[in-house]
Amino acid sequence: MNNSEVLQGRPVAIAKETQPAISVPEEPGKSKQRERMRTIIRGSILPLSVLLLWQIIGSTGLVTKTILPTPVEITKSFIELLISGELYKHLQISLFRAAVGFLLGGGLGLLFGVLVGLFRRFEDSVDPSIQMLRTIPHLAITPLFILWFGFGEFSKILLIAKGAFFPLYVNTFLGIRGVDSKLFDVARVLEFSRFKQITKLVLPAALPNVLLGLRLSIGVAWLGLVVAELMGSSEGVGYLILDARQFSQTSIVFVGIAIFAFVGKGSDSVVRYFEKKMLKWRDNFNG
């Protein structure tokens, strides 16, 4: 092979070697799934580490099982309650009480929050009394509910509703009053009616606060459920915890606590899912 052939072939070889590789863009669906999996893994590191340390401490006998049963023993108690059907019975009652109390209290809180936020006269006449009632603790009003309504379902539902009312009321009120006044100037230029201002301007702008109040209201409803079922009940997860405490069945107590935690987290995740869907239009919302 002569020099001309070598020189003629060299540029071709160099071109082949330096030719950039063609990268295939990753599908958006797979990218989102991978990011979601990373998020789940990051969120699981802390609880799994705590459970592992907990199991090691319990297995070595540093703490008695009566005080702190291991996660394995708690899981066994959970499976036993699940197989016997007792867990489903108590959970069904608790979910019914929490749902009815939340719908009653949260619905009224949303209604009063809208009325107080939109009308100044309504705020002057109603808000001071509501703010005074908001400061009364659950445990302080529980004996009064028992005297008035007894130990029946009605008193328990009212106690749950009392807790669920205030977060939605306060956040709805703040959301409506926090609407930018410049938007009303635009509404006047566009000649929006009063009804159109409320439906197209005020309520959408207040929606982030309303959804935040919804999440807080669900959490407080679960707290009210615990108080309601501990004050005197023969059914429900709270009763299951109280009954297990009396017989020193600590593992069952932890089962009840875990149920409250997981169901509460599940309901909060549902609200967050709708929050992401409904607030996509906001530029500053990174859901």
Closest residue by Cα to residue 237 from 264, 214, 215, 274: 264
Burial of residue 284 (number of CB atoms within 10 Å: 0-12, 13-18, 19+): exposed
Whether 54 shows a pLDDT value over 70: the answer reads yes
Q: Is the pLDDT of residue 52 over 80?
A: yes
- For residue 285, what pLDDT is reported? 52
Sign of CA dihedral 224, 226, 228, 231: negative
User: Residue 88: which residues within 8 A CB-CB, separation 6 or more?
Assistant: 82
pLDDT digits (tens, 9 = 90+) for 124-138: 888 899 988 888 887
Q: How confident is the model at residue 167 (pLDDT cuts 50, 70, 90)?
A: very high
Mean pLDDT of the chain: 81
Structural domain spans, the chain: 89-278
Query: Structure tokens of 46?
Result: 């802390």
- CA dihedral (212, 215, 219, 220) in degrees, to 10, reads 50
CA dist 83 → 10, 78, 79, 95, 205 (Å): 77, 9, 6, 19, 48
| 8: pLDDT strictly greater than 70 | no
The CATH code belonging to domain 89-278 is 1.10.3720.10
Look at residue 98 and tell me whether its pLDDT is greater than 70: yes
**In this model, does residue 263 exceed pLDDT 70?**
yes
Each residue of 275-286: pLDDT tens digit? 887 777 665 555
Q: How confident is the model at residue 171 (pLDDT cuts 50, 70, 90)?
A: very high
Q: 185-197: per-residue pLDDT in tens?
A: 777 777 777 777 7
Q: 12 pLDDT band (50/70/90 cuts)?
A: very low
Q: Give the separation between CA 197 and CA 195, rounded to whole angstroms.
A: 5
**pLDDT tens, position by position, 208-260:** 888 889 999 988 888 888 888 877 777 888 888 888 888 888 899 999 889 98
pLDDT band at 35 (very low <50, low <70, confident <90, very high): confident
Per-residue pLDDT at 255 = 92
pTM: 0.75
